[in-house]
């Protein structure tokens, strides 16, 4: 009987110790969030991190606190820049049509010395009944070639700039040729991509890149988070 009581006492003791250990073990991310929640200065945050007994925990949490500080500074900079974008969004008198500022960039390759010119922006239309805003990416591609490219597809790129999956439907609006010679013409293709409000707001913290594809050529369109923050501030 005494042995049974002793065994039970040992098991209860081990269970209590195990529970205590489980309660006290926290991850570096949890500790970082705990320190940030204190509302201290960056220097004071590092002092808090230095109090851990584990040197590895001190190093990891200090690094995460530094990253959090850098992200906060960048966000404040982006917020100011996004105001410039918001100020250039055109709003119709009815309050239902939105047109973001046009982004222009040129792209050239070793094989093609004449750069492609890309002009693109986001546009939105608000349904007054549902309150939902439907958006589209409007893009014009101007290039010199011996024949038109006929852009036929698009892909959403991931954070590693891989653009082979996540196919997106593309709408061909028009193609015009001008300044033709015996070997080539200047072409202007206009395409549109429909984007939901949910899609844009899901990418507001990081922006997104879409690759537009023809059979032999491709071009990338980059919508930064600054542009998204400013555009969506108005288009809602």
The beta-carbon contacts of 81-85 under 8 Å, at least 24 apart in sequence, are: 81/226, 81/230, 82/226, 82/227, 82/229, 82/230, 82/233, 83/230, 84/230, 85/226, 85/227, 85/229, 85/230, 85/231
Is the pTM value of this prediction over 0.85?
no
pLDDT of residue 188: 97
Residue 5 lies in a domain: no
What is residue 78's three-state secondary structure?
helix
Out of 83, 103, 128, pick the residue that ends a domain: 83
Number of domain units in the chain: 2
Residue 13 lies in a domain: no
- Give yes or no: residues 193 and 108 share one domain: yes
- Give yes or no: residues 45 and 109 share one domain: no
- Give yes or no: residues 96 and 47 share one domain: no
- Give yes or no: residues 216 and 178 share one domain: yes
- Give yes or no: residues 118 and 219 share one domain: yes
Residue 16 lies in a domain: no
| 153-156, strands of its sheet edge to edge | 167-168, 153-156, 208-213, 218-223
Which domain range does residue 40 map to? 21-83
Residue 102 lies in a domain: yes
pLDDT tens-digit map of 179-196 = 999 999 999 999 999 999
Residue 124 lies in a domain: yes
Residue 155 lies in a domain: yes
What's the rounded Cα separation, in Å, for the pair 135 and 195? 5
- Give yes or no: residues 108 and 61 share one domain: no
- Give yes or no: residues 79 and 100 share one domain: no
Out of 55, 83, 111, pick the residue that ends a domain: 83
- Give yes or no: residues 108 and 214 share one domain: yes
The label of the residue with tokens 């010395």 reads: 113
pLDDT of residue 19: 46
Per the CB < 8 A criterion, the answer to whether 35 and 61 are in contact is yes
Residue 113 lies in a domain: yes
- Give yes or no: residues 127 and 218 share one domain: yes
Residue 9 lies in a domain: no
pLDDT of residue 110: 63
- Give yes or no: residues 122 and 219 share one domain: yes
Alpha helices in 25-168 (DSSP H): 28-36, 42-49, 55-87
Ranges of residues in the chain with a pLDDT under 70 are 1-25, 109-112
- Give yes or no: residues 94 and 70 share one domain: no
pLDDT tens-digit map of 150-183 = 999 999 999 898 998 889 999 999 999 999 999 9
- Give yes or no: residues 58 and 164 share one domain: no
């Amino acid at each position: 009987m005494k042995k049974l009581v002793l065994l039970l006492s040992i098991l209860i003791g081990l269970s209590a110790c195990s529970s205590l250990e489980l309660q006290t073990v926290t991850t570096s991310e949890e500790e970082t969030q705990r320190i940030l929640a204190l509302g201290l200065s960056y220097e004071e945050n590092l002092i808090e991190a230095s109090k851990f007994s584990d040197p590895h925990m001190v190093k990891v949490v200090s690094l995460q606190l530094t990253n959090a500080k850098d992200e906060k500074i960048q966000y404040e900079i982006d917020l100011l820049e996004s105001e410039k974008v918001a100020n250039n969004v055109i709003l119709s008198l009815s309050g239902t049509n939105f047109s973001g500022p046009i982004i222009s960039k040129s792209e050239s390759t070793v094989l093609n010395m004449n750069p492609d010119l890309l002009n693109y922006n986001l546009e939105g239309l608000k349904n007054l009944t549902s309150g939902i805003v439907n958006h589209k990416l409007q893009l014009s591609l101007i290039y010199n070639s011996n024949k038109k490219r006929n852009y036929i597809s698009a892909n959403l790129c991931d954070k590693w700039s891989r653009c082979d999956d996540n196919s997106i439907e593309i709408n061909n609006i028009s193609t015009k040729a001008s300044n033709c010679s015996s070997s080539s013409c200047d072409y202007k293709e206009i395409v549109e991509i429909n984007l939901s409000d949910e899609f844009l707001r899901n990418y507001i913290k990081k922006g997104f890149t879409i690759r537009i594809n023809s059979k032999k050529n491709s071009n990338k369109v980059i919508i930064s988070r600054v542009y998204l923050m400013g555009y969506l501030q108005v288009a809602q």
